[in-house]
Amino acid sequence: MGRRILGALLLALEPLRFAAEALRVLPTLAYRGAPAMFELAFHGGVAALAAVGGLALWNGAPDARRLASVAVLAMAARSIQSLYWSALPSNTSPGTEPFYAAATLLAAITALALLHARR
């Protein structure tokens, strides 16, 4: 049951986060330049990977745990990358990056533990 919930979260949350980011950034993307375009494309790839991993978990595909694990790791990398280096706008207060990074790592470790726990 926990894996299906994680699958639903992967399927919904990261793509919605990316959609909100893209809607906020697209009007100013030309002014931000190539680094912002590459970063937004990378974030879109992570959202697609999360959706595919979530769908695989939801459907009980044979390699769903492996794909979802890669998606969780990619989401954690995207979150930490956005905290410390980003050409896109952010609402993170200066000095809070380590706390958000620690929370991201804790969530990723929890998700990976849930994925790989014995039934």
Per-residue confidence (pLDDT) for residue 61, from 0 to 100: 84
Q: Which of 74, 100, 69 is nearest to 6 (CA)?
A: 69
pTM: 0.87
In the chain, which ranges are continuous DSSP H helix? Answer: 2-25, 29-32, 34-59, 64-84, 97-116
Lowest-confidence region among 70-74, 92-96, 111-115 = 92-96
DSSP secondary structure of 66-99: HHHHHHHHHHHHHHHHHHHS-SS---PPTT-HHH
Model confidence at 119: pLDDT above 70: no
List phi, psi (to 5°) of 112: -65, -40
| Contact criterion met (CB below 8 Å) for 2 and 114 | yes
Which residues touch 93 (CB under 8 Å, ≥6 apart)?
none
Per-residue confidence (pLDDT) for residue 1, from 0 to 100: 66
Which residues touch 9 (CB under 8 Å, ≥6 apart)?
54
Share of the chain above pLDDT 70, in %: 98
Mean pLDDT (whole number) for 15-30:
90
